[in-house]
Chain A
């Protein structure tokens, strides 16, 4: 069943469609929430996300754009728990050296997951959305409410931070 069809059926009030929606999207939501928060908070926040999704579904304008809408809600729920971390000023982007494809190769998915928790929330979030959730740059920009250029800069900085961490651990040279 396509996402759009699932959303339309949910908006019609079909209970099986709600179950299908949760079955399809719970893992991506939980992955995002879990990478951003502790295990103790993840289940409750994931539930908050789903309740907000169900409340918001009747007003969802573009069912085909469900994924960015869902992650915008998830991000709001996470940022409510991480107000202090999100308020931290970002390192000026111009000062960041650009880390290109060579580092992408190093970003083995499993290795990234292990090391994500050491990164600040802003950088961790963009890596989770782009690499673990496979969202496009445009979707990441919509979810984080920032321009696409800023998404690219954050990704570059996040990759650099991750790379530096791996170098320190001796995982890469």
Chain B
């Protein structure tokens, strides 16, 4: 097998879309699970089939989050640019989640919504730190590339 054939076999594994897709599955799955969980726990007097529907949605969100985690941990490496995109995506979606949960906490006060809001705030903080670290790591690599390209 020559190098081009080998690269052809590998190129599917190197798709930026698939790597960012794994991050999106994790972030949106987890965010969806938290929001739906808070909504479910604070919804008064639900009928049995509505509980089932919420349960199914919750399982779906957690399955996506689990799938994304597995992909990132075992199958899909995140390179410097991916880290920055993933951090930005996580930060944006967690801010959205936090806003939604805060609205929920205001309209349906209780320990569940307060806990969900605290968890969402933690996710925002974590994703901000991850984004900052990813940007710093990429900056180091870009600087080194510049040095090597200019023979410094």
B-contacting residues, A24-49, CB 8 Å: 26-27, 30, 43, 46-47
Whether the Cβ atoms of A8 and B141 lie closer than 8 Å is: yes
Q: Is A5 an interface residue (CB 8 A)?
A: yes
Inter-chain contacts of A47 with B (CB < 8 A): 6, 9-10
* Interface: B70 (CB within 8 A): no
Q: How far is the CB of B34 from chain A (nearest CB, A)?
A: 28
Q: A44–B13 Cα gap in the complex (Å)?
A: 15
The answer on a CB contact under 8 Å between B77 and A57 is yes
What are the interface flags for B103-129 relative to A under an 8 Å C-beta threshold, 1 for contact and 0 otherwise? 000000000000000000000000000
Chain B at the A interface: mostly helix, strand, loop or mixed?
helix
- Asked if B10 and A12 make an inter-chain contact with CB atoms under 8 angstroms apart, the answer reads no
B interface, size bucket: 20 to 34
In the bound complex, CA of A43 to CA of B149 (Å): 34
Shortest distance between the CB of A19 and any CB in chain B (Å): 5
Task: Give CA–CA (A12, B135) in the complex, Å.
Answer: 11
A47 to B7, CA, bound (A): 9
The listed residue (B77, B141, B145, B148) touching A55 by CB distance below 8 A is B77
Cα–Cα, bound, A58→B84 (Å)? 13
Interface bits B67-99 vs A (CB < 8 Å: 1, else 0)? 000000001011111100000000000000000
Docked pose: A43 CA to B13 CA in angstroms:
17
Instruction: Give bound CA distance, A5 to B143, whole Å.
Output: 11
A167 within 8 A of B: no
Instruction: Please tell me if B133 contacts chain A, counting CB pairs below 8 Å.
Output: no
Give me 19 other A-B pairs in contact (C-beta within 8 A), A26-B3, A58-B79 excluded: A2-B148, A4-B148, A5-B149, A8-B141, A8-B148, A11-B80, A12-B141, A12-B145, A13-B81, A18-B7, A22-B3, A26-B2, A26-B6, A30-B6, A54-B77, A55-B77, A57-B79, A58-B77, A58-B78
Residues of B within 8 A of A (CB): 1-4, 6-7, 9-10, 13-14, 16, 75, 77-82, 138, 141-142, 144-145, 148-149
